[in-house]
Structure 1
Amino acid sequence: MHSVRKVTEDLYWVGGNDRRLALFENIHPIPRGVSYNSYLLLDEKTVLFDTVDWSVCRQLLENVTFLLNGRPLDYVVVNHMEPDHGASLEEILLRYPNVKIISSEKAILFMRQFGFTIDGKTEQVKEGDTFAFGKHEVTFIAAPMVHWPEVLVTYDKTNGVLFSADAFGAFGALGGQLFNDEMNFDRDWLDEARRYYTNIVGKYGPQVQALLKKAAGLDIKMICPLHGPVWRTDLGYFLDKYDKWSRYEPEEKGVLIVYGSMYGNTESAANALAAMLVEKGIKNVAVYDVSNTHVSYLISETFRYSHVVLASVTYNLGIYPPMHNYLMDMKALNMQNRTFAIIENGSWACKSGTLMRDFLENQLKKMTVLDEKVTLNSSLKEENISDLEALADSIVESVQAKQ
């Protein structure tokens, strides 16, 4: 049975939702599922903007069949060829054998790499090219490495719709609401939009900045991403988030405390520091166990907060492995422009603090590490409280200096 939503005149959402998938890209937990967005334009020519993951292909086909109502499908515009959007393309080709594919040179190469039979069915476009489907005329904008090298975004000059590929997306299945103004975005979607951006696109901040500069020259009325809600109001709010995230600027002034603790002793120090910070006036504090929190959430929170405390036990004369994995993800995603503080613990040969500082200063970019450091020998004791207070004061001073 079809399930469609009208986006604006002549344009319909024809995607689907997957609430069964546990891991996006087989990495990132998605407890609320994910939407795969596809859009159908009914003009003199009929145009499908991207397809969907194979898991919701049946829903796509039912939606398209219903709206076409016997008309042929003339074109498929492929902005992004990653399989969560391109997997259903060949099924569309089988159902509509006369359809033409409009896409970039590299995306067409990827189609062949994935084994799709597309000979004689493609029309290659590049940035600046235009295409008219009747009263709707679109132009194509290159968005390489946002977050694959073949990506295009498509701008409909007639109605101001930007088909933004994976930009401006979010984790989470759509629960009937399609548009940002049909939901409480800050409460229900912002965290998942941030986690989506930071883990999927976050490495490519300069490329996102380049796309934002191109978008600034367009009269955009609506943003149609490939995951999550469609934006038709308050576009500046979400554009500002993308600007901050892609410049690696903190979204909020506050302190993220991430601890790695084997038996609870380092955790006790992290909790004590959190309480001190709140008592000293820094109420925007979050505390996470690195062993019990998927790293995608930690990365998202790292993009969010201005200051990060790393509290780690020493393990085999090194950094606690889950903490090291977290640091490696920061490096992989090009994390920068944060202020760090360190708590180290070890029953003998305590090395984690020195190693974490070395990683932050030499493996990451534009990181500041506060000089104050707390060193624990097995557990937090009364003799450590003054050092913990000094660390808390240093963090408070740094946070307030940046306000």
Structure 2
Amino acid sequence: MFITDSIFYVGVNDHQVDLFEGQYDVPNGMAYNSYVIMDEKIAVMDTVDIHFTEEWMGNVAKVLDGRKPDYLVVQHMEPDHAANICNFMKAYPETTVVANAKTFGMMANFFPEMDLKDQKLEVKNGGTLELGKHVLNFVFAPMVHWPEVMVTYESTEKVLFSADGFGKFGALDVEEDWDCEARRYYIGIVGKYGAPVQTLLKKAAALDIQIICPLHGPVLTENLGHYIEKYDIWSSYKVESEGVVIAYASVYGNTKKAAEILAQKLEEKGCPKVSLFDLARCDMAEAVEDSFRYGKLVLASLTYNGEAFPFMRTFVEELVERNYQNRTIGIIENGSWAPMAGKVIRAKFEKSKDITWLENSCTIMSAVKEENLQQLDAMAEELCK
């Protein structure tokens, strides 16, 4: 794939993976992206997952067309991108590996048998590397989303090699909406690190970027302002769209019934979007994604062993871990003799910033009764303000 006349895509599509990073469902697979910059000196940008060594090496060799690479630039040491460093160096032993000090430290841990000797070029933040016409400018991006991460701006053709930034789930031979799977990818994997992403966006704002080449997902060449705006919203924890998420955990159906009644009331009142999730059965990553996308959240749980139900506990932990903030939360709790789920859930958000709790809540004693319907109506009215 041509990115420009001198920059080539040599990545691979993975349709073998079922769970990315051991937890995220990826029905349309994943792309592991790698690039080659052809110039007086040749730079290969990152490697790919270990299961695709042969395919990737073949892609690289085809672009090189008999030439030998001068540099292997390593922006991120996570194995889905860095697993083939050692294999690459065996195939091209005269290559110089370009990375920062933290990356070389991790490299020694991943590949203790690999001795680069004098074939290391340690770069500093703001450092440059000339290939001929092309000039690589290195910008450190710690905790986006590992501490060693850096991105690379090629200033001649105005290309940003963005590491995991602007990536998404899904292989490149499947067409799907960027926003949805990029949002789920960002919030699931990078969501905790909004502040470092904001720092990187401020640095990127000073650059004239015409093309974004991420390590996952498609190369972005048009309407870059849209993708940058989305990243600004996500990393600053702003509300992206108006709507209400209702996430419930139910055993015998009574808590589920309350959640469904509330959803119906919201729709009747003209709520622009209502997302309803059964936490025991849904893709929890999608429930987390929508909870960050929309501004209001209702958590409905029965009481279980004096706690919220396990799926609800996990869900709340997923939100808090990713710095859930600037949102409104309502509670529906159920308990046959001592409803405690609401109190427990509230306590889990104690350290979260700018959480507004609904004045109205709903407490069910076993089954939904007339007083609960009135409580749910009051919640719907408040949520629709």
TM over 0.5: yes
SS of the aligned residue for 1:348 comes to: coil
Deviation at 1:188, TM superposition (A): 2.4
1:261 aligns with one of 247, 250, 262:
250
Deviation at 1:371, TM superposition (A): 1.6
2:136 aligns with one of 115, 138, 157:
138
Q: Superposition pairs for residues 127-276 of structure 1, below 5 Å?
A: 127-175=125-173, 188-276=177-265
8 A contact 2:12–2:56 mirrored in 1: yes
1:77 aligns with one of 69, 73, 79:
73
- TM score, norm. by length of structure 2: 0.97
Distance in 2 (CA, whole Å) between partners of 1:22 and 1:91 is 25
Figure out how many residues of one structure are paired with residues of the other and give that number. 383
Distance in 2 (CA, whole Å) between partners of 1:10 and 1:147 is 29
SS of the aligned residue for 2:58 comes to: helix
2:310 aligns with one of 321, 325, 330:
321
8 A contact 1:163–1:224 mirrored in 2: yes
2:84 aligns with one of 84, 88, 92:
88
Distance in 2 (CA, whole Å) between partners of 1:145 and 1:118 is 26
AA aligned opposite 1:345: N
C-alpha distance after superposition, 1:75-122 (max 9, x if no partner): 111111111100011110000000001111100111101123322221
SS of the aligned residue for 1:372 comes to: coil
Deviation at 1:123, TM superposition (A): 0.1
8 A contact 1:112–1:118 mirrored in 2: no
Which consecutive aligned stretches of 4+ in structure 1 deviate over 6 angstroms post-superposition? none
Deviation at 1:334, TM superposition (A): 1.3
Distance in 2 (CA, whole Å) between partners of 1:291 and 1:365 is 27
8 A contact 1:17–1:33 mirrored in 2: yes
SS of the aligned residue for 1:6 comes to: coil
AA aligned opposite 2:334: N
**2:64 — aligned with what?**
68
8 A contact 1:336–1:364 mirrored in 2: yes
Distance in 2 (CA, whole Å) between partners of 1:352 and 1:164 is 42
Whether 1:394 aligns to 2:382 is yes
**1:107 — aligned with what?**
103
AA aligned opposite 1:15: G
AA aligned opposite 1:77: V
SS of the aligned residue for 2:2 comes to: strand
C-alpha distance after superposition, 1:17-57 (max 9, x if no partner): 11111111112111111000000111111110011111122
SS of the aligned residue for 1:371 comes to: coil
8 A contact 1:77–1:101 mirrored in 2: yes
8 A contact 1:204–1:246 mirrored in 2: yes
8 A contact 2:254–2:368 mirrored in 1: yes
AA aligned opposite 1:149: P
SS of the aligned residue for 2:47 comes to: coil
Q: Superposition pairs for residues 4-43 of structure 1, below 5 Å?
A: 5-43=1-39
**1:180 — aligned with what?**
none
- TM score, norm. by length of structure 1: 0.93
8 A contact 2:242–2:272 mirrored in 1: no
AA aligned opposite 1:351: M
Deviation at 1:193, TM superposition (A): 0.5
Distance in 2 (CA, whole Å) between partners of 1:201 and 1:57 is 26
Distance in 2 (CA, whole Å) between partners of 1:26 and 1:121 is 34
- Runs of 5+ unmatched residues, structure 2: none
Deviation at 1:300, TM superposition (A): 1.0
AA aligned opposite 2:368: L
Deviation at 1:239, TM superposition (A): 0.4
C-alpha distance after superposition, 1:240-263 (max 9, x if no partner): 000000001111110000000011
8 A contact 2:158–2:208 mirrored in 1: yes
State percent identity of aligned pairs.
46
**1:351 — aligned with what?**
340
AA aligned opposite 1:273: L
**1:400 — aligned with what?**
none
